[in-house]
A and B are shown apart, each in its own frame.
Chain A
Amino acid sequence: MAAPQPTGRSRPTLLLVIVAALTLLTMQFRGFGPLDSFQQGMRDLLDPVRSVSESAARPLRSAWLGVFDYDDLRDRTERLEKELARMRGRQLSSEADGELLKRLMGEVGIEYAKLDTVVVRILGTPPGNSSSHTIEVDKGLDDGLAEGMAVVTGAGLVGRLEVVDRSRSIVRLATHPAFRVGVRLVGSQDEGLARGGGASGHLVIDAGIRPDVQVAIGEVVVTSGGRSRFPTDIPVGRVIDPDAGADLDREIIVEPAASLEHLSFVNVVLDQRLADAGPLERG
């Protein structure tokens, strides 16, 4: 097998493309708008092709799942049946639950249920193998979504919108190692900063909480709001390890309130400030 070998010129060419790649990376991280617009335009261009392909492949995918992921499907069905039974039970005892909910809301001052949201369907993982702890959803700019908006379920915080195209978006889950959220411990009212714990599936509060603060196992953690991009008082999770013995580097482990596995639908909290803001304001 023969190939053209313009020897002697490969090094300058390689250096040139590496410098070009680094320049593009720097420009992107500095928020150079045209690059984002170009990428978004290309993805929007391919979107109809992807939609057709997804529709065509749906029966094949179902067959594949039926053959190779039967156990997973059965587990999921059982889980959904239990969830349905629980929801029916809740409906029957709605008055009692309503009273309890009111009491809990009053206790933590939560206005969470009143948030204006849009329901989005989860399409799966975004294209490629490079990213983890992200999901793709079926709504985008055309539905009023914007980068940075909080994504929740009835149980609590799921993540935030990372990339928003015309008709699709990518959600960065709360467990993503680069995810940051300002949180408040409901018991002590101390505020800190939580980050995603990656593969552990937890969140870690590693800044802002004083070492001498008493934190109980099971204590509720909510978003702190304020200057944060997330609305106030969205449930984040419960403390499972208060790291009471720590001196300075205290790391409180929080189990997410919302199950981040096997989601089918999530809600995006509409925030007019983020919808109106440009990319720089969104950070």
Chain B
Amino acid sequence: MTGRLRVVAILLTAVTVQVTVFEEIRVSGVSVELLLLVSILAGFHGGPERGAVVAFCAGLLHDTITATPMGLHALVYAPMAVATSHLEVRLARSTRPFLAAGLMVAMVIGVLSTMLVGGLFGLHGVDVERLARTALLASVMSVALAVPTSRAVRWAVTGGLPVNVDVRGSGVELRG
């Protein structure tokens, strides 16, 4: 299976799981943000360029299933993927709890940004308490799914391709 087909498979699986299983499992009305998680992990594993494209597609799919204006989630997800990819270089040798904490922060920022942009476009009022509650709950639930999702996303975005890391400023290229 080519890399592009793998990415399509992951995105379609994620969107199907999001609208079925994770819509049924809501805690205080908040559900998992699987497509945001996939976007962040795509940036982490796939680098900024591939991460941005995967995140853009994930955002468009999210807009489609949630009936939000097309491009709204993509506007947030792509920068999130790129930002995470830059962090990846710095966190390459970090421990798992540290990575989980970083992912948690990225998820909170992603959910908050999406809701704020939604507020700007009149989808809902900006209610600080609701924003905070939704961002925290969605992030905790999503981070709980990080390990299997991370494996699947890594398989999709790096599968069959040479894996190079150019650690900027050091002149060192790592091969994985």
State the A residues within 8 Å of B (CB). 1-7, 9-10, 13-14, 17-18, 20-25, 27-29, 35, 38-39, 42-43, 46, 49-50, 52-54, 57, 60-61, 125-133, 162-163, 170, 176-178, 198-199
- Is the beta-carbon distance between B165 and A2 smaller than 8 angstroms? yes
Measured CB to CB, the nearest residue on chain A to B114 is: A130
Given the contacts A14-B52, A131-B118, A46 and B65 also touching, CB distance less than 8 Å: yes
- Is the beta-carbon distance between B69 and A10 smaller than 8 angstroms? no
Task: Tell me, rounded to whole Å, the shortest Cβ–Cβ distance linking B141 to chain A.
Answer: 10
Q: In the bound complex, what is the Cα–Cα distance between A27 and B164 (angstroms)?
A: 38
Task: Tell me, rounded to whole Å, the shortest Cβ–Cβ distance linking B50 to chain A.
Answer: 7
Measured CB to CB, the nearest residue on chain A to B137 is: A129
- B50: chain A residues at CB < 8 Å are 4, 6
Given the contacts A5-B166, A10-B48, A14-B82, A127 and B18 also touching, CB distance less than 8 Å: yes
- Is the beta-carbon distance between A132 and B124 smaller than 8 angstroms? yes
Given the contacts A5-B85, A127-B23, A131-B123, A18 and B68 also touching, CB distance less than 8 Å: no
Q: In the bound complex, what is the Cα–Cα distance between A152 and B33 (angstroms)?
A: 32
- A23: chain B residues at CB < 8 Å are 71
- Is the beta-carbon distance between A2 and B175 smaller than 8 angstroms? yes
Q: Is B109 an interface residue (CB 8 A)?
A: no
- Is the beta-carbon distance between B49 and A126 smaller than 8 angstroms? no
- Is the beta-carbon distance between B59 and A199 smaller than 8 angstroms? no
Chain B interface category by residue count? 35 or more
- B174: chain A residues at CB < 8 Å are 2
- Is the beta-carbon distance between B46 and A128 smaller than 8 angstroms? no
25 contacts between A and B (CB under 8 A): A2-B165, A3-B44, A3-B46, A5-B48, A5-B165, A6-B48, A13-B53, A14-B52, A14-B82, A17-B55, A17-B56, A18-B78, A24-B71, A28-B69, A38-B70, A125-B29, A127-B18, A129-B138, A130-B123, A131-B123, A131-B124, A170-B67, A177-B125, A178-B122, A198-B125
- Is the beta-carbon distance between B124 and A130 smaller than 8 angstroms? yes
- Is the beta-carbon distance between A13 and B65 smaller than 8 angstroms? no
- A46: chain B residues at CB < 8 Å are 15-16, 19, 65
Find A35's partner among B24, B70, B124 (CB 8 Å cutoff).
B70
- B170: chain A residues at CB < 8 Å are none
Q: What is the 8 Å Cβ interface bit string for chain B, positions 42-77, against chain A (1 contact, 0 not)?
A: 001111111011011001111111111111111100
Q: In the bound complex, what is the Cα–Cα distance between A9 and B46 (angstroms)?
A: 13
- Is the beta-carbon distance between B123 and A53 smaller than 8 angstroms? no
- Is the beta-carbon distance between B49 and A6 smaller than 8 angstroms? yes
Task: Tell me, rounded to whole Å, the shortest Cβ–Cβ distance linking A224 to chain B.
Answer: 23
- Is the beta-carbon distance between A128 and B47 smaller than 8 angstroms? no
Main secondary structure of the interface of A (DSSP, over half): helix
Find B47's partner among A6, A25, A28 (CB 8 Å cutoff).
A6
Measured CB to CB, the nearest residue on chain A to B92 is: A1
- A162: chain B residues at CB < 8 Å are 67
Given the contacts A10-B52, A22-B71, A4 and B62 also touching, CB distance less than 8 Å: no
- A128: chain B residues at CB < 8 Å are 31, 62, 65-66, 68
6 more contacts with CB within 8 A, not counting A3-B46, A23-B71, A129-B31, are A1-B92, A14-B48, A17-B53, A17-B55, A46-B15, A127-B65
Q: In the bound complex, what is the Cα–Cα distance between A50 and B24 (angstroms)?
A: 10
- Is the beta-carbon distance between B20 and A131 smaller than 8 angstroms? no
Chain B contacts with A in 127-141, Cβ cutoff 8 A: 127, 130, 134, 138
- A127: chain B residues at CB < 8 Å are 18-19, 23, 31, 65-66
Measured CB to CB, the nearest residue on chain A to B173 is: A5
- Is the beta-carbon distance between A28 and B48 smaller than 8 angstroms? no
Task: Tell me, rounded to whole Å, the shortest Cβ–Cβ distance linking A27 to chain B.
Answer: 8
Measured CB to CB, the nearest residue on chain B to A9 is: B49
Q: In the bound complex, what is the Cα–Cα distance between A4 and B85 (angstroms)?
A: 10
- A20: chain B residues at CB < 8 Å are 56, 71, 74
- B72: chain A residues at CB < 8 Å are 21, 25, 130
Q: Is B21 an interface residue (CB 8 A)?
A: yes
- A199: chain B residues at CB < 8 Å are 125, 127, 130
- B56: chain A residues at CB < 8 Å are 17, 20-21
- A29: chain B residues at CB < 8 Å are 69
